[in-house]
Amino acid sequence: MNPLKKLASEAGLYGLPSILGRVLNYLLVPLHTAVFVTEQFGSIGKLYAYAAFLNIIYTYGMETAYFRFTTKENSESYYSQAFTAILFTSVLFSGAIFLFAEQIIQFLELSVETYIVRYLAVIFFVDAIVAIPLAKLRLAHKAKKFAFTRLSSIALNILFNLLFLMFFPFLAKLGIIEWESQKPYDIGYVFLANLLANISMVVILYKEIFLTRLQFNWAKTKKMLVYAFPILLMGVAGIAVDQLDKVIFEYLLPENFYVGKTSKAALGIYVATFKLSIFMALAIQAFRYAGEPFFFSQAEDKEAPELFAKVLYYFVTLCLLLWVGVSLNADLIGRIFLSDEAYREALFLVPVLLLGKLFFGVYINLSIWFKITDKTYYGVYISLVGGGVALLGNILLIPVLGYTGAALTSVLAYFSMMVYCYFAGQKYFYIPYPVKKIFINVLLAGALITLFFYFKPTSIIWNYTLGIIISLLYAAAMFFYERKRIFSKKLK
């Protein structure tokens, strides 16, 4: 099979459960933006941003360490070591969060009830203890059980959200049951739904969790921790680029920066707009699932550099289709997914946020060089540079530009990672990437988006119609321009 066809098929196969899960979760956005005010949505986004950091800390790279050291002979031993370590630390971390919930709320200046933080403590614990069992399923190629476990949790999360925020309030209005029925509802329902859904994974993974023999061998655990530490740093720095703006936004935005809106309301608007970048994130996630095994399998081939160059080129081509299509139809997509009009005032940032994700996708593609050459410490350097740019950019730009500054910072952070990775990689594993051609294509797509926003019709109908038509014409032009060369051996 043509290697590019193989990569495309595997990206769909391995990425489908994760993509489907994220799409299903995204369906909660219209519900949440309908029943919560912007301040509440901002609080939800901020708490989940903290959750993203803590999920990395709770597992501290042990999944990857488990993959690295496991063989057929020692599989159960390293599984037990990894699971025992995660279980022990998760009990400590979540126990501390549960006991000191009030102090954490005061320290972080969170506007939430104590029980919500305690819900999160349990959620973190469950997410952590299922991480190694899920990794075991992947290692054993038990894709069906892996997908069933993840999708069951996601489906239940949606079901509980619908019950708590729609069905039960409806019954309450009819006088059938007692339930909160006046909007805006308590955001605690969102986290309660998440908690109950996560517990389903423990039930499904009963055998992998409760029948595991706990073991602790310091020599083995130390070896895994030493390997995992750089991965922990990469994870924290990577999450900083993606989520730090939500954590610190409220503290950096001056009062009355947006007339008539609190900083928390502005954060809610930004979080809702940020969620529209999911379309690019899905493509990147599918590529990540299939990309690494594909690159490693082709690395020894003498034509690998040329093939890797083609992969990047056509990956960018696909991302440009998404960039143009979503950007030109941002108003229409926003009307569909963001129920309350108050959430739609920052839709002009969608192209900026998507561009940042595009740069991140290119970085993921480029990063194979330090994995192939065993120079993974470069991943730490690059991630720390991106995290540093994210921190500095948010501190400097949010007070001046508001959520526009946060969006621009994400672009700068991902761009810095991409550029650093490219130039470092060319020294150790040269790949003839068609940089000039990619740059021109990105420039043309950016010009098209800019012109559309500048001359955008005031009529809603014409705006939607032209957005769809131009997107289809762009896609058709790219198809006819590239179709003859996509399966050729070289980029001409």
Read out DSSP for 190-237?
A: HHHHHHHHHHHHHHHTHHHHHTPPP---HHHHHHHHHHHHHHHHHHHH
pTM of the predicted protein model = 0.84
Residue 89 has pLDDT above 70, yes or no: yes
- For residue 457, the SS3 value is coil
How confident is the model at residue 232, as a pLDDT?
86
- C-alpha 46/C-alpha 271 separation (Å) is 9
> Which pLDDT band, with edges at 50, 70 and 90, does 254 fall under?
very high
Which of 283, 482, 244, 245 minimizes the C-alpha distance to 364?
A: 283
pLDDT band at 223 (very low <50, low <70, confident <90, very high): confident
What are the distances in angstroms from CA 479 to CA 169, 224, 240, 297, 323?
49, 47, 36, 28, 15
Give the model's pLDDT for residue 9. 53
pLDDT digits (tens, 9 = 90+) for 109-160: 888 899 999 999 999 999 999 999 988 887 776 777 888 888 889 889 999 9
**What is the mean predicted confidence (pLDDT) over 353-364?**
94
Q: Is the pLDDT of residue 18 over 70?
A: no
φ, ψ at 255 (rounded to 5°): -60, 140
Mean of pLDDT values over 391-413 = 95
- For the cut 70, the answer to whether the pLDDT of residue 479 exceeds it is yes
Evaluate if residue 205 carries a pLDDT over 80. yes
Residue type, 266: A
Residue 294, pLDDT score: 66
pLDDT higher than 80, residue 382: yes
Q: What percent of the chain has pLDDT over 90?
A: 48
For position 487, what pLDDT does the model report? 53
Residue 377 pLDDT: 82
Whether the Cβ atoms of residue 98 and residue 115 lie closer than 8 Å to each other: no
pLDDT confidence tier of residue 203, bands split at 50, 70 and 90 = very high
pLDDT, one tens digit per residue, over 322-332 is 999 999 999 99
User: Comparing 366-370, 391-395, 406-410, 482-486, which segment has the lowest mean pLDDT?
Assistant: 482-486
* 329 Cβ contact list (under 8 Å, min separation 6): 464, 467, 468, 471
Region 33-60: what's the mean pLDDT? 91
Q: Is the pLDDT of residue 25 over 80?
A: no
Give tens-digit pLDDT for 135-148. Answer: 888 777 677 788 88
pLDDT value of position 326: 94
Distance CA(316)–CA(360), nearest Å, equals 11
pLDDT surpassing 60 at residue 7:
no
Confidence at residue 225, expressed as pLDDT on a 0 to 100 scale: 87
**Residue 380 exposed, middle or buried by CB count within 10 Å (0-12, 13-18, 19+):** middle
Between CA 55 and CA 459 the distance in angstroms is 45
Q: Is it the case that residue 4 has pLDDT exceeding 80?
A: no
Per 3-state DSSP, the chain is made up of helix, strand and coil in percentages (nearest 5) of 80, 0, 20
As a whole number, mean pLDDT of residues 429-448 equals 93
